Each structure stands twice: as structure tokens, then as C-alpha cells.
């Protein structure tokens, strides 16, 4: 029996079943090292992204979220607690030896309170767009922590569906709904995904996304319904709500550009090799080479703006 099955609905049970899958051994090793680093303040470590699919975790960067009780005591530098509270999350780098290989991880520190706010109240999809997707609890402090995280992440699913469905006309299936939702979400960050890659992400977990959509229906209060023909779903939104949805997603793209720049600037102070990571991430997703000069690496807040402008002009960032 999963944690959520004792008191949650079908959606929580489904999310819990996915979260409680055993992580790859390499991911578990890094999560354990992270638990030692953060101590009792750590509530859970959530693994997501390519390290959970067919990619060898040792060949890339393991993506983790460290959910903490609070920021005080979570960092070695006092100034980071108020800065992270104002602009969450803060991103760090971790290396861990495992079975003779060096594992590399990027972990973002986010408080439990801001995880809840990010899913339920934030306009930007930085949190709810990410955690509506499949993830695994690579570490949990205890059973209560797992239940709390499960309940929060289950709320991200109807949030993404509710924000996406008005953007789709007519009848559509779950795969089209999720492909559109993920594409819209990724477009609000400075890490664009190619359309074929987004579709591939959905195809990889097609059955899971179908089950999520069906389980989320009771939480959507009739705003998404099964089509009478049985061929999919349709959104009941009228013209005004659809216009608001289009306007909101355009605004999120503008907001996301500003937030991403601010987060990259903050990461230059917290993430050793952060600029090289950002360049690697962009090259990986776009195929475009990103050159960083020594002076940009040493003084990113002074000289990094020229690089950013060139990437925008070339269309690497949108």
C-alpha cells in the first residue's frame, strides 16, 4: 500500500505509486550524500528528468530537488536564506563517487512552504509545470514526509491541465494535452525544448499521462470532460476564458525570461561551474554551441549580458 492510498484520492494514489518507485542506484547514492550534507532540515529529495529515463546517470547531470523545512540552516552562507526566500530556489552542485565512477548532480533547494505556494499560487509554471511530470522520491525523512510531498505534487497535475486545456480547440487526447502543456511550460524558461523532444517525453510515459488525466478529472470540476464520442476530452471554457489563457501564457513567457536571468545571476554565486552548466544545458537542448570567454566566467554579472544578447539574436533563447 502506498502512502497516499490510506487517505488520498485516486490521483494521489497514482502519484504516490510513481514517486515510490526505486530510483536508479546512482541517483540513490547522490541523494544519500545530499541527505548527509543537509541534515535534519531535509524533508525529501525529488529526482526528475533524464536520469529517470534511459540515460545513464553517470553520463550526464542528475537533476534533484531538495525540499527543506526552512532556509535557515540550509546553507553555509547566511545571506542565501533571505535571497532564496525572495527568489527561489537556490541551485548547487554535488559530486559523489559511486562504484568507481564520479556522479555529478545539480540540486535545487526549495522550502516545503514555497513548494506548496509554487504549485497552488504562483502564476509562473516553474514549480507546477515541473512537478506535474513523473518524479521519484530518492530520499524521504520519514513516512509523514513522503505523504506530504505526495499530496503537494498531486496538486500540480490538475493545475497544469487547467492552465493548458483552454489552449486546445475541439476534442483532444491526453497525449496532445500533455505535449501542449509541457511545451507551453518549457517556453517560459531559458531552456527551450524542441517540439519532437517534448512529444518524446510524453510518448515515453504515455500510459502514465493518460492515467493522470483521468484521475485528475474530479478535481477539475467539469472544466475538462470526456468527449461524448469517447475519442478524448474537451475543455468547457468559453471564449473569454480562452482569451485569458492565451494572455496568461504570453505573460508567463515574459516573466520567465526575467526570472531566468535573475536565477542564472544568483547561480553564478552558488553553483561552481554554473555558467559552464548553463552553456552545456543550452547546447544539449538546442544543438547550438555556446562560447564563454575567461572574463565572462570570472565576471559573469558584468560581461555575461553580451553573451545573453547574442544568444537571443541567434534564437538560441526565445
pTM reported for the whole predicted model = 0.85
pLDDT at residue 227 in the model: 87
Residue 44 DSSP SS3: strand
pLDDT at residue 280 in the model: 63
Q: Taking 70 as the threshold, does the pLDDT of residue 69 lie above it?
A: yes
Residue 96 DSSP SS3: strand
Nearest to 67 by CA among 103, 98, 107: 107
Question: What gap in Å lies between CA 250 and CA 247, rounded to an integer?
Answer: 5
Average model confidence (pLDDT) across the chain: 87
Q: Taking 80 as the threshold, does the pLDDT of residue 103 lie above it?
A: yes
pLDDT at residue 143 in the model: 96
Q: Taking 70 as the threshold, does the pLDDT of residue 45 lie above it?
A: yes
Complete domains list, the chain, with CATH: 4-239 (3.30.460.10), 253-314 (no CATH)
CB of 185 closer than 8 Å to CB of 125? yes
Nearest to 93 by CA among 260, 278, 303: 278
Least confident range from 177-181, 252-256, 264-268: namely: 264-268
Can you name the residues that pair with 116 across neighbouring β-strands? none
pLDDT at residue 3 in the model: 54
Q: Taking 90 as the threshold, does the pLDDT of residue 128 lie above it?
A: yes
pLDDT digits (tens, 9 = 90+) for 194-244: 778 889 999 999 999 999 999 999 999 999 999 888 789 999 999 999 999
CB of 168 closer than 8 Å to CB of 57? no
Q: Taking 70 as the threshold, does the pLDDT of residue 5 lie above it?
A: no
DSSP state letter for 88:
-
Span 170-197, average pLDDT: 89
| 100: confidence class by pLDDT, cuts 50, 70, 90 | confident
Distance of CA 315 to the CA centre of its chain: 23
Span 5-24, average pLDDT: 87
Q: Taking 70 as the threshold, does the pLDDT of residue 46 lie above it?
A: yes
Q: Taking 70 as the threshold, does the pLDDT of residue 278 lie above it?
A: no
Residue 292 DSSP SS3: coil
Span 304-313, average pLDDT: 63
Q: From the CA atom positions of the chain, what is the Rg in Å? A: 20
DSSP state letter for 23:
P
| 57: confidence class by pLDDT, cuts 50, 70, 90 | confident
Amino acid at each position: 500500500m502506498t502512502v497516499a492510498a490510506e487517505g488520498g484520492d485516486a490521483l494521489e494514489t497514482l502519484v504516490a505509486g510513481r514517486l515510490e518507485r526505486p530510483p536508479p542506484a546512482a541517483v540513490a547514492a547522490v541523494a544519500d550524500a545530499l541527505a548527509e550534507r543537509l541534515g535534519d532540515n531535509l524533508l525529501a529529495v525529488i529526482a526528475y528528468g533524464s536520469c529517470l529515463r534511459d540515460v545513464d546517470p553517470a553520463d550526464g547531470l542528475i537533476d534533484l530537488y531538495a525540499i527543506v523545512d526552512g532556509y535557515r540552516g540550509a546553507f553555509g552562507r547566511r545571506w542565501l536564506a533571505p535571497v532564496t526566500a525572495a527568489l527561489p530556489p537556490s541551485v548547487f552542485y554535488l559530486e559523489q563517487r559511486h562504484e568507481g565512477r564520479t556522479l555529478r548532480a545539480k540540486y535545487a533547494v526549495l522550502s516545503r512552504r514555497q513548494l506548496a505556494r509554487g504549485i497552488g499560487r504562483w502564476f509562473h509554471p516553474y514549480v507546477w509545470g515541473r512537478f506535474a511530470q513523473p518524479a521519484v522520491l530518492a530520499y524521504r525523512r520519514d513516512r509523514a514526509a513522503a505523504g506530504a510531498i505526495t499530496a503537494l505534487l498531486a496538486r500540480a497535475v490538475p493545475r497544469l491541465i487547467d492552465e493548458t486545456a483552454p489552449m486546445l480547440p475541439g476534442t483532444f487526447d491526453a497525449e496532445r494535452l500533455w505535449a501542449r502543456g509541457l511545451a507551453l511550460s518549457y517556453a517560459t524558461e531559458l531552456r527551450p525544448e524542441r517540439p519532437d523532444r517534448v512529444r518524446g517525453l510524453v510518448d515515453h510515459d504515455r500510459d502514465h499521462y493518460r492515467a493522470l488525466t483521468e484521475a485528475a478529472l474530479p478535481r477539475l470540476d467539469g472544466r475538462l470532460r470526456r468527449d461524448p464520442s469517447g475519442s478524448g476530452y474537451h475543455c468547457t471554457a468559453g471564449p473569454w476564458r480562452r482569451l485569458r489563457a492565451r494572455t496568461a501564457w504570453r505573460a508567463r513567457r515574459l516573466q520567465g525570461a526575467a526570472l531566468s536571468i535573475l536565477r542564472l545571476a544568483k547561480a553564478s554565486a552558488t553553483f561552481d561551474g554554473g555558467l559552464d552548466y548553463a552553456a552545456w544545458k543550452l547546447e544539449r537542448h538546442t544543438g547550438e554551441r555556446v562560447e564563454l570567454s575567461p572574463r565572462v566566467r570570472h565576471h559573469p554579472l558584468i560581461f555575461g549580458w553580451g553573451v545573453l544578447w547574442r544568444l537571443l539574436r541567434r534564437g538560441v533563447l526565445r
